[in-house]
Amino acid sequence: MSRTSVGEIGAEPGERQRGWLRVPGVEPPWEIPVVVNRGREPGPTLAVTAGMHAAEYVPIEAVTRLSRWADPETLRGTLLTVLLVNSPGFYERSIYVNPRDQRNLNRSFPGDPEGLPSQRVANLVLTQLIEGSDAYVDAHCGDLNEALAPFALWARAEDPGLAERSHRLALCYGVERILAEDPAQIPDHSVGAAALRGVPAIVAEVGQQGICDEASVARHLRGLQNVMAELGMIDPVGPPAPAPRELAEMAWMRTDVSATYHPSVAVGEEVLRGQLVGELRDLFGEPVRQLEAVASGTVVFCVTTPAVKAGDPLLGIGVLPG
Percent of the chain with pLDDT over 90: 99
**Residues 9, 24 share a domain:** yes
Q: Which amino acid is at 17?
A: Q
Containing structural domain, residue 286? 248-319
Same domain, 98 and 208: yes
CATH number at residue 253: 2.40.50.100
Q: Which of 196, 211, 244 is a domain's end point?
A: 244
Give the pLDDT confidence of 289-300 residue by residue, as tens digits.
999 999 999 999
Regarding whether 263 and 175 lie in a shared domain, the answer is no
Co-location of 91 and 168 in the same domain: yes
d(CA 7, CA 311): 36
Is the same domain home to 234 and 277?
A: no
Q: Which pLDDT score is estimated for 2?
A: 87
Give how far Cα 129 sits from Cα of 68, 108, 174, Å.
19, 16, 25
Block means of pLDDT (10 residues each) for the chain, 322 residues, are: 91 98 96 98 98 98 98 98 98 95 97 98 98 98 97 97 98 98 97 98 98 98 98 96 96 97 97 98 97 98 97 97 89
CATH of the domain at 148: 3.40.630.10
Residues 237 and 311 in one domain: no
pLDDT confidence of residue 1: 63
How many structural domains does the chain have?
2
What does DSSP say about strands 287-292 and 276-281: parallel, antiparallel, or unpaired?
antiparallel
Q: Are residues 133 and 29 in the same domain?
A: yes
* Same domain flag for 183 and 231: yes
Buried b (16+ CB within 10 A) or exposed e, 76-108: bbbbbbbbbbbbbbbeeebbbbbebbebebbeb
- Domain finish residue from 180, 215, 244: 244
Do 154 and 286 lie in one domain? The reply is no
Together in a domain, 145 and 286: no
CB 269 within 8 A of CB 245: no
Amino acid at 77: G
Shared domain for 119 and 171, answered yes or no, is yes
pLDDT value for 196: 98
pLDDT one-digit tens code per residue, 52-103:
999 999 999 999 999 999 999 999 999 999 999 999 999 999 999 999 999 9
Q: Residues 217-222: contacts with CB within 8 Å, 24+ apart? A: 217/58, 217/61, 217/62, 217/65, 218/62, 219/150, 219/174, 220/58, 220/59, 220/62, 220/63, 220/139, 220/141, 221/62, 221/65, 221/66, 221/69, 222/174
Q: Given 201, 224, 244, which residue is the final one in a domain?
A: 244
Q: Pairing state of beta strands 151-155 and 177-181?
A: parallel
Count of beta carbons in the 10 Å neighbourhood of residue 302: 27
What does pLDDT average to over the chain?
97
* Residue 52 CB neighbour total at 10 angstroms: 28
Same domain membership, residue 257 and residue 239: no
